[in-house]
Amino acid sequence: MRGVGIEPLKEALRGRASVIAGPSGVGKSSLLNAIQPGLGLRVGEVSKLTNKGMHTTSHLEMFPLDGGGSVVDTPGMW
């Protein structure tokens, strides 16, 4: 991950409650790990067979952000 666009996203999440949603394997958990080092969210490979994620995140969880606010990581629904 090159970190491009992480700062503006951090800024957008600051001070509010947000939810990250989208298909499995697009990098939702990876993005949150980049935004808030130390979260240690599990990330998974994308299947070579289907080219989709393998539903690594399996539950909803809300995390407080250092800059204020919070964010919810969600399982990809498809």
Ligand X SMILES: Nc1nc2c(ncn2[C@@H]2O[C@H](COP(=O)(O)OP(=O)(O)OP(=O)(O)O)[C@@H](O)[C@H]2O)c(=O)[nH]1
35 makes contact with ligand X (CB under 6 A): no
Stretch that binds ligand X, among 6-14, 18-26, 60-68 (CB under 6 A): 18-26
Q: Is the alpha carbon torsion for 69, 72, 61, 43 positive or negative?
A: negative
Q: Which stretch binds ligand X (CB under 6 A): 6-14, 24-32, 61-69?
A: 24-32
The DSSP call for residue 47 is P
33 near Mg ion, judged by CB under 5 A: no
| Gap between the Cα atoms of 77 and 23, Å rounded | 6
Q: Which does 24 bind (CB under 5 to 8 A by kind): Mg ion, ligand X, none?
A: ligand X
